[in-house]
């Protein structure tokens, strides 16, 4: 099908003796907002890094629009890492220049407008920004690209509810409608209503992949409630604790 | 009146219900233009596909009319609007009875309590 954007086939990844992904099969269609959900250590970040070409699979394949992650896919994939990655001596304006230089699909006018709404001046140094403001700035830059795939690793972790609201609205109003957003989080109740579908990861396996409303219809409970149930009661296997 | 996603029912159903309420109470007047999906989705903070599904339901209800060139508008048919207003009222009555049942009141007793409340109001 031409609407398939992401395909993972029997994807395995081991870090030495630790297996992070154990045979993941996953297809994501274009034009969707997808939640990648799972407890800490379930493989969310690993999967996102594989889609981004930052690490290579131990076995199996991952493709984006039929291509193995590399320079060609990176031009169409917008990535928000799970930790700050901007050089702290740079200024907000430097970051805008940097993104404009680097990505053909960067919409500078959009980024400037959103920075304006956040009250972020171009001559402010990254170092002086609070954690929440820095996360918002990173998200603004990432969402200002017109990409096929947005990979957002924990975009709402560690920020206050108002910042969370800003971030979710920024995602909703700026993503490319023909593209797909894959967003990892463990704060499900906050994001449930922005998602089309969810992927539950547990110990490197995909244990559920379905539409949010299909789950609500079938289970008679929210995805958040289902998640709590699966990972409280289903997590008795010894490996569940990452330490 | 803000959109609220409060319970475990499918999100599109909760949106559809709140939009029906807005239509029958004239927030979106009869015959008037209806806001575009993306605008409503942004207002509610929900996925546009989910809002689209809610609007599909309102079209099936006959509350919204889709015109290829002009977009969506609210129906002008008073009968349809009045019928929906009645349906929403009946749903709340059923909710009331169900709630009273948890307190141990029969439907007759619950109805008598409503009547008592109405008389009390008249006396004030």
Query: Which of these ranges, A44-58, A78-92, B52-66, B102-116, has the smallest mean pLDDT?
Result: A78-92
* Number of residues that make up chain B: 124
| CA distance, residue B84 to nearest chain A CA (Å) | 24
* Distance set, CA A63 to CA A4, A53, A100, A101, B104 (Å): 10, 10, 26, 26, 60
CATH number of the domain that residue B67 is part of? 1.10.10.10
A113 within a domain of the structure (yes/no): yes
Predicted local distance difference test score (pLDDT) of residue A20 = 95
Q: Residue A243 pLDDT more than 60?
A: no
A83 within a domain of the structure (yes/no): yes
B5 within a domain of the structure (yes/no): no
B89 and B66 in a common domain: no
B70 and B15 in a common domain: yes
Q: What is the pLDDT of residues A34-55, one digit of tens each?
A: 999 998 889 999 999 999 999 9
Q: Domain of B49? A: 11-76
Q: Which residues of A touch B50 (CB under 8 A)?
A: 193, 196, 212-213
B1 within a domain of the structure (yes/no): no
Q: Mean pLDDT, to the nearest integer, of A181-188?
A: 91
pLDDT range class, residue A131, cuts 50, 70, 90: confident
A242 within a domain of the structure (yes/no): no
Predicted local distance difference test score (pLDDT) of residue B1 = 66
* Cross-chain Cβ contact A33/B10 below 8 Å: no
What is the chain A residue with the closest CA to B4?
A193
Which pairs from A231-236 meet CB under 8 Å and 24+ separation?
A231/A38, A231/A39, A231/A202, A234/A202, A235/A39, A235/A202
Cα–Cα distance measured from residue A38 to residue A109, given in angstroms and rounded to the nearest whole number: 36
Per DSSP bridges, beta strands A149-153 and A77-80 are parallel
B91 and B72 in a common domain: no
Q: Any idea what DSSP says for residue A67?
A: B
Residue identified by tokens 């993503």 is A175
Q: Mean pLDDT, to the nearest integer, of A110-118?
A: 92
Q: Residue A242 pLDDT more than 70?
A: no
CA-CA-CA-CA torsion for B55, B57, B63, B69, nearest 10 degrees?
50
B36 within a domain of the structure (yes/no): yes
* Cross-chain Cβ contact B50/A193 below 8 Å: yes
Q: Domain of A204? A: 4-237
B70 and B17 in a common domain: yes
B105 within a domain of the structure (yes/no): yes
A47 within a domain of the structure (yes/no): yes
Nearest to B12 by CA among B45, B55, B43, B42: B55
CATH number of the domain that residue A159 is part of? 3.40.50.300
Show the 3-state SS of A74-121.
Answer: HCCEEEECCCCCCCCCCEHHHHHHHHHHHCCCECHHHHHHHHHHCCCC
* Cross-chain Cβ contact A213/B41 below 8 Å: no
Give residues 4 to 63 of A whose Cβ lies within 8 Å of B. Answer: 31-33
Total structural domains in chain B? Answer: 2
* Cross-chain Cβ contact B8/A195 below 8 Å: no
A93 within a domain of the structure (yes/no): yes
| Rg (alpha carbons) of chain A, rounded to whole number | 18
A98 within a domain of the structure (yes/no): yes
B94 and B65 in a common domain: no
Q: What is the pLDDT of residues B85-96, one digit of tens each?
A: 999 999 999 999
Q: Residue A235 pLDDT more than 70?
A: no
Local structure of A233: helix, strand or coil? helix
B62 and B25 in a common domain: yes
Cβ(B73)–Cβ(B31) below 8 Å: yes
B101 within a domain of the structure (yes/no): yes
The mean pLDDT of chain A is 90
Total structural domains in chain A? Answer: 1
Percentage of chain A with pLDDT > 70?
95
Q: Mean pLDDT, to the nearest integer, of A133-155?
A: 93
Terminal CA-CA length for chain B: 30
Predicted local distance difference test score (pLDDT) of residue A132 = 86
Does A194 contact B at CB distance below 8 Å?
Answer: yes
Question: What is the value of pTM for the model shown?
Answer: 0.86
Predicted local distance difference test score (pLDDT) of residue A240 = 44
Q: What is the pLDDT of residues A9-20, one digit of tens each?
A: 999 999 999 999
What is the chain A residue with the closest CA to B54?
A213
Q: How many CA atoms lie within 13 A of B86 on its CB side?
A: 6
Percentage of chain B with pLDDT > 70?
97
Q: What is the pLDDT of residues A54-68, one digit of tens each?
A: 999 999 999 999 999
Q: How many CA atoms lie within 13 A of B26 on its CB side?
A: 1
Q: Bridge-partner residues for A198, per DSSP?
A: A35, A210
* Number of residues that make up chain A: 243
B114 within a domain of the structure (yes/no): yes
């Amino acid at each position: 099908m031409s609407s398939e954007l992401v395909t993972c086939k029997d994807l395995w990844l081991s870090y030495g003796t630790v297996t992070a992904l154990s045979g993941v099969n996953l297809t994501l269609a274009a034009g969707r907002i997808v939640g990648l959900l799972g407890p800490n250590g379930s493989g969310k970040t690993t999967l996102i890094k594989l889609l981004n070409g930052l690490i290579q699979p131990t076995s199996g394949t991952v493709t984006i629009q039929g291509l193995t992650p590399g320079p060609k896919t990176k031009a169409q994939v917008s990535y928000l890492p799970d930790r700050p990655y901007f050089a702290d001596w740079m200024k907000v304006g430097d970051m805008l220049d940097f993104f404009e230089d680097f990505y053909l699909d960067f919409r500078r006018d959009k980024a400037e407008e959103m920075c304006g709404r956040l009250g972020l001046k171009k001559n402010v140094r990254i170092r002086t920004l609070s954690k929440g403001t820095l996360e918002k700035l990173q998200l603004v830059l990432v969402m200002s690209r017109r990409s096929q795939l947005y990979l957002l690793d924990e975009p709402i972790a560690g920020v206050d509810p108002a910042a969370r609201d800003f971030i979710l609205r920024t995602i909703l109003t700026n993503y490319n409608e023909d593209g797909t957003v894959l967003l990892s989080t463990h704060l499900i109740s906050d994001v449930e209503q922005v998602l089309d579908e969810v992927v539950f990861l547990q110990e490197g396996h995909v244990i559920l992949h379905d539409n949010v409303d299909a789950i609500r219809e079938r289970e008679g409970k929210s995805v958040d409630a289902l998640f709590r149930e699966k990972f409280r009661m289903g997590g008795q296997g010894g490996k569940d604790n990452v330490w | 009146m803000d959109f609220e996603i409060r319970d475990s029912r499918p999100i599109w159903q909760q949106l559809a219900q709140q939009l029906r309420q807005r239509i029958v109470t004239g927030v979106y007047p009869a015959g008037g233009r209806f806001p575009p999906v993306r605008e409503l989705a942004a207002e509610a903070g929900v996925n546009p596909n989910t809002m689209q599904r809610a609007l599909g339901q309102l079209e099936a209800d006959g509350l919204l009319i889709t015109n290829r060139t002009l977009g969506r508008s609210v129906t002008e048919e008073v009968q349809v609007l009045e019928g929906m207003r009645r349906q929403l009222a009946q749903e709340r009555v059923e909710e009331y009875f169900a709630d009273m049942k948890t307190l141990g009141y029969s439907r007759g007793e619950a109805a008598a309590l409503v009547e008592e409340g109405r008389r009390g109001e008249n006396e004030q």
